[in-house]
Structure 1
Amino acid sequence: MQSVLSSQRMPLLLLGCALALCYKACGVTITTDNANVQAIEFEEAILSCKYTIEKDPNPRLEWKKLGQTHVSFVYYRGHLVGALKARAEMIDSSIRIKNVSRGDSGNYRCEVSAQGDTQVLAEALIHLKVLVAPGAPVCVVPISAMTGTVVELKCREEEGSPASQYRWFKDGTPLLETLTTHSKVRNSSYTINKKSGTLQFNTVAKADTGEYHCEAYNEIGQQKCAAKRMQVDDLNVSGIVAAVVVVALVIALCGLGVFYAQKKGYLSRQSSQKARTACKSARPKESDFKHTKSFVI
């Protein structure tokens, strides 16, 4: 019984598969040679789109760029439009960008609609990534530092795509991320973060005095900043102690002077004289007294 039912279902399954295949094959279809395109800035890029149709003699082809908040046309009604209008050309249904810019990066969609076909719409998504060499990095190097302190040197640039990584040089020699016994700066204690571009000395020493520069790099190129000198000096403990002693003596002498003046009564005499002067100035002169009508009987 089961074998009979199985034999009856088999033709139905085959028919369903055939219909599904026919639906896909008979409608409009789209393919792309490369769904993830990478191109160096100012060079060319091909956004590939190929389609087949069933019977519609006038299919409609459109290209769109998908932004984060809106969708804009790139190819519409048989013409290139927008930012690519003057920098691109159509090769059949594909787009050739003659010189890409970093603003061209993003997702593009090729759409073909054929109203007379069984499947009327098909689309392909292509991602374009424009590779950009780093710009000249900005380096922050302190002019001077005291031994034993924590010192951080900074390096940054914002143009590179993919994002730049960084390496530091002292007197033209690259600083290793991991110190070795053969390193020329093995007496130093530092940490390099190649992603953020920082060079941090945990306890800077006089041996760290020198000219430092940074280099930003990615797979497209590299750029460096001008070298800057950092001078590291010992902390002058004796000078600091002497300065503290001098300040303490000045404060003590001022305090003794005030105490002596109070003991001798200089401050009280001056205050009493000021009080007498204020009282005299407050009394009206007899010559200033004038009779008013209220005194007339």
Structure 2
Amino acid sequence: MARSRHRLLLLLLRYLVVALGCHRAYGLSTPLRDQQVVTAIEYQDVILACKYSKKTTSSRLEWKKLGLSVSFVYYQQALQGDFKDRAEMLDFNIRIKNVTRNDAGKYRCEVSAPSEKGQNLQEDTITLEVLVAPAVPSCEVPNSALSGTVVELRCKDKEGNPAPEYTWFKDGVRLPESPKLGFQSSNSSYTINTKSGTLQFNTVSKLDSGEYSCEARNSVGHRKCPGKRMQIDDLNMSGIIAAVVVVALVISVCGLVVCYAQRKGYFTKEPSFQKSNSESKETTLSENYSFEE
């Protein structure tokens, strides 16, 4: 009988704890050492609760948002700044309407009241985390590529919180993380990184031609980028061989022209200054001969 009464008392205490923590209906609140962590979804309402709820006529309440600079949220019995139009006081607690990602951060409530020993100050710190759905991710898909080469497709979202995971689609069909799991991609060799959003083909083939799109998803929502087509072409071996033949012919013709020019002596013509030197020597010899006579 005593045990049953003890269990009943424990159940009643648990019920009272849950009832006192009713503010959690507007967010998930979990203790972090001596701090509270409240999680809210962007554009919904959230309540920041100050655990020191014993209010007296002489007590004074202040709310501050902490950061590089401390700003007042509630001061001198009035909401301040941006919170004037979208927040309300519920006793010592604050209800923020239409919460945004800019509201994320640490908040501190300060309750001061006179006592026998002087001014009594109590503080409580709450961390607000705002969950944000992904935006439309930016997708980088090349228009064309050659078969047998390495090709990488990229997908990135900069707004989602928590960080989203990424899924790739080809022609509207989801690509499995491993190419061995899908019959449509059995001839492909690729790697998907769901964290970074990359889709890399190790050796791309013509079968990989198609329209590719990417989806970013987290616990709040998901968004998808428009599809982009990638065309894979085989190497044109006949064209490459023809180009090599043409280059070889051009080189051969140039070689024949050079040989012909050398035979004709176009590259062995005596410089003009050497000719003038020989003429001056002949003139000197003739003058010496006439003088001797």
Shift of 1:267: 5.0
State the TM-score, normalizing by the size of structure 2.
0.75
Q: Deviation digits for residues 101-138 of structure 1, max 9, x if unmatched?
A: 11001111111112326581211111111111111111
Q: Is the 8 A contact 2:51 2:124 kept in 1?
A: no
Q: In percent, how many aligned pairs have the same letter?
A: 59
SS of structure 2 residue aligned to 1:120: strand
* Contact 2:157–2:216 (Cα < 8 Å) also in 1: yes
Name the SS for the 2:248 alignment partner: helix
Distance 1:248 1:115, change over 3 A: farther
The aligned counterpart of 1:106 is 105
Report what 2:71 is aligned to. 72
Aligned to 1:44: 45
Aligned-residue RMSD, C-alpha: 2.3
In 1: Cα distance, 2:137 partner to 2:181 partner: 31
Alignment correspondent of 1:180: 180
The Cα shift of 1:214 comes to 0.5
Where in structure 1 are there 5+ consecutive unaligned residues? 1-31, 280-297
Q: Distance in 2 between matches of 1:96 and 1:181?
A: 49
Per the alignment, in what secondary structure is the counterpart of residue 256 of structure 1? helix
Question: Structure 1 pair 216/252, CA: closer, same or farther in 2 (3 Å)?
Answer: same
2:123 matched to 1:123? yes
Find the residue that maps to 2:89 and give its secondary structure. Answer: strand
Q: Which moved more, 1:158-167 or 1:45-54?
A: 45-54
Mapped to 2, the partners of 1:215 and 1:96 lie a distance apart of: 34
Per-residue deviation, 1:53: 5.0
Mapped contact 1:53–1:114 kept (Cα < 8 A): no
Alpha-carbon distance in structure 1 between the residues aligned to 2:200 and 2:74: 51
Unmatched tracts of structure 2, length 5 or more: 1-22, 30-35, 277-293
What is the alpha-carbon distance in structure 2 between the residues aligned to residue 117 and residue 218 of structure 1? 53
Letter in 1 for 2:73: V
Instruction: Kindly report which structure 2 residues correspond to 1:132-281, keeping only aligned pairs within 5 A, or say none.
Output: 132-180=132-180, 182-267=182-267
- Does the 8 Å contact 1:49/1:124 carry over to 2? yes
Residues 184 and 127 (structure 1 numbering): CA distance in 2 closer, same or farther, change over 3 Å? same
The answer to whether the Cα contact below 8 Å between 2:136 and 2:223 also exists between their aligned partners in 1 is yes
> Structure 2: how far apart are the matches of 1:41 and 1:163?
15
Query: TM (normalized to structure 1)?
Result: 0.74
How many matched pairs?
241
Q: Distance in 2 between matches of 1:50 and 1:163?
A: 31
Q: CA deviation at 1:182?
A: 4.9
On the 8 A contact 1:53/1:117 being kept in 2, the answer is no
Contact persistence 2:151–2:201 (CA under 8 A)? yes
- Taking the aligned partners of 1:47 and 1:167, their CA distance within structure 2 comes to 36
Paired with 2:181 and 2:44, the residues of 1 have a C-alpha distance of: 45
Query: Structure 2: how far apart are the matches of 1:252 and 1:58?
Result: 105
In the TM superposition, residue 52 of structure 1 has moved relative to its aligned partner by: 4.7
Shift of the 159–117 alpha-carbon distance from structure 1 to 2, 3 Å rule, reads: farther
How big is the shift at 1:149? 0.8
Partner AA of 2:45 in structure 1: E
Asked if 1 retains the 8 angstrom alpha-carbon contact of 2:53 and 2:92, the reply is no
Shift of residue 58 of structure 1?
1.6
Q: CA 1:117/1:203 → structure 2, altered by over 3 Å: closer, same or farther?
A: farther
